[in-house]
Amino acid sequence: MKRILLLLLISISSFAQNYKFSVGSNITSFIFTNSAGVNPTFLRPSSGFHFALSNESLMSKAFYVEYGINYNQFNNVGDVQSIPFSYATDYLGIHAGIGPHWKLGKGVMLSPKANIAAAKLINGNQFLSNHYVDLSGDDQFNSLQTMFGYSLEISKQVNSQIGVFAKYQHFDSYKFGSSTLSIVPSTFSIGISLRN
C-alpha cells in the first residue's frame, strides 16, 4: 500500500511540474546605515538585468512550491557634493517560494507567493572620482545576501505544454544595526513555462 501511495505521489508531482524561464529588469535600492545609525539620502535606484530558471510543482491541493537559480545585476547611483558615483554588481543565487494558483478563467491564473532567496557576489565595482573600486573585498557586498519577499504572477496557458507569464517580485535583505547595507530589488519579468 505504501508503495502504491508513493508511486501515486510521484506521478502527480511529475504531472504537475512546470519548468520556467524568465528575463526582466531589477530596480534596486541600496539602503546604507552608517556607523552613526543614519541612512544617507544621496543614493538613487538603478536598473539591472534579471534572469531565472526554476521548477514549480504541486505541493498540496492548494499550494505550489517553486525553487530555482537566478542571476541578477543589483545597481545603484548617487552623488555627494556634486561628485557622481555608481555601483554595478552581479549576483548568482538560489530562490524558493510557496503560494496558491487562482484560476481567473480562459486559461489565466494569478499566483501570489511568499519567497526567500540567497545570493553571492560574483563581480562588483564602484565607480568614484574617475576610477573603479573592486567590491569583492567589501563584506557589505561580498557576504551572503539572504532576502525575503513576495511575488505576484499572472500566467496564460497557450496549449497543454506551453505557458507564458508576467511577474512582479520584491525582496529585501533586512540588515539591521550600524554600518550595514540592505539590498532592496523590485523585479519585473516575463517568461515561458514548459509543463512536464
Q: Is residue 164 part of a domain?
A: yes
Q: Is residue 34 part of a domain?
A: yes
Q: Is the pLDDT of residue 3 over 70?
A: no
**What's the CA gap between 42 and 32, in Å, rounded?**
10
Tell me phi and psi for residue 59, to 5 degrees.
-95, -35
Q: Is residue 50 part of a domain?
A: yes
Q: Which residues contact 2 (CB under 8 A, 6 or more apart)?
A: none
pLDDT of res. 178: 67
| Total of domains in the chain | 1
pLDDT of res. 179: 74
Q: Do residues 83 and 98 lie in contact, with contact meaning Cβ atoms separated by under 8 Å?
A: no
Find the range with the poorest average confidence among 35-39, 84-88, 119-123, 128-132: 35-39
Q: Is residue 142 part of a domain?
A: yes
Quick one: which of 185, 164, 65 has its CA closest to 113?
65
Q: Which residues contact 29 (CB under 8 A, 6 or more apart)?
A: 43, 45, 76, 183, 184, 185
Here the cell at position 43 is 543614493
Q: Do residues 76 and 44 lie in contact, with contact meaning Cβ atoms separated by under 8 Å?
A: yes
Q: Is residue 188 part of a domain?
A: yes
Amino acid making up residue 148: F
| pLDDT tens digits, 32-90 | 887 666 677 788 999 999 999 999 999 888 899 999 999 999 999 988 888 888 999 99
pLDDT of res. 134: 94
| Helix, strand or coil, per DSSP, at residue 16 | coil
Tell me phi and psi for residue 32, to 5 degrees.
-85, 140
Q: Is residue 176 part of a domain?
A: yes
User: What is the CA angle 149-150-153, rounded to 5?
Assistant: 150
**What's the CA gap between 39 and 56, in Å, rounded?**
38
Q: Is residue 54 part of a domain?
A: yes
Q: Is residue 62 part of a domain?
A: yes
* Domain extent at residue 100: 17-195
Find the CATH number of the domain harbouring 80.
Answer: 2.40.160.20
Torsion angle of alpha carbons 60, 167, 47, 137, nearest 10°?
Answer: 10
**What's the CA gap between 12 and 17, in Å, rounded?**
9
pLDDT of res. 160: 87
